[in-house]
Amino acid sequence: MSYKILEKKQIAPQVHLMKVLAPDVAKASKAGQFIILRIDETSERIPLTIADFDAEQGYVTIIFQEMGKTTKQLAKMKDEDELQDFAGPLGTPADVRDLGTVILVGGGVGIAPVYPQVKAYREAGNKVISVIGARNKDLLILEDEMRDASDELHVATDDGSKGHHGFVTDVVKQILDSSEDVARIVVIGPPILMKVAAGMTQPYGVETIVSLNPIMIDGTGMCGGCRVSVGGETKFACVDGPEFDAHKVDFNLLMSRLALYRSEESECLQNHECTCKGDN
């Protein structure tokens, strides 16, 4: 069985949106879950968070950034092309319920997995305050969609080209320092952003949840590659997560494990680029 690409488009520099026809996956998907795809039978398996899904039309939306060999190959695919594998939904769905006021934070490509949660939390009856950020305005994604799905939307850019000049954590702190009674904060983005956010929110005593993206292979808890330390206990992000209590996550260990195969990944990408040049 293969999975047809219904739509593929670039939405920011080196960031692409892809709608994939996968009726069974779309029907079972919930906010917070992910899929693992494989381009062809010789490709590696890569996990990508579900950015949206439509059970009636049978498609799942993924958003990815060109980083390594596989994502660069994926970026060259087009409408009507097919993927070999598209397994999911995987992981534990987000714990979405009516809590009151919830802040959802997306940094960079992390805005993509935040989007379905924004919709889900609002549908559950919460007041949803969304905070999104990127290095500059050109790298912001899903801004209109996030605005439509949220009660409030705040934008931050590192260079001040749009919205608040600074980081998303600055905006979250301003909200926490106001009279707003916040029940939960969800943060998804680069590990350093989630680490900083966890440290910033802890003194306020507000429940803070992060979605972790460790190295992952099978996505079923068998390989152990995605193990993380949470509250001093070993957890597997693929089955126990990907969401965890931010105040209990060992972010230093997470980031060190993410760097384990950096040299091998770089070598693989260089070999791929050399092969592509040779083919031309």
What is the structure's pLDDT at 43?
A: 85
223 is in an annotated binding site: yes
Domains in the chain (CATH in brackets) are 3-90 (2.40.30.10), 101-211 (3.40.50.80), 214-241+248-280 (no CATH)
Question: Which residue stretches of the chain have pLDDT < 70?
Answer: 259-280
Rounded distance between C-alpha atoms, residue 240 and residue 183, angstroms:
23
What is the structure's pLDDT at 42?
A: 86
* pTM metric for this prediction: 0.88
What is the structure's pLDDT at 255?
A: 85
What is the structure's pLDDT at 275?
A: 57
What is the structure's pLDDT at 202?
A: 95
64 is in an annotated binding site: yes
274 is in an annotated binding site: no
276 is in an annotated binding site: no
Rounded distance between C-alpha atoms, residue 236 and residue 142, angstroms:
29
pLDDT digits 0-9 by tens, 190-240: 999 999 999 999 999 999 999 998 777 777 777 777 888 999 999 988 888
What is the structure's pLDDT at 113?
A: 94
63 is in an annotated binding site: yes
What is the structure's pLDDT at 201?
A: 96
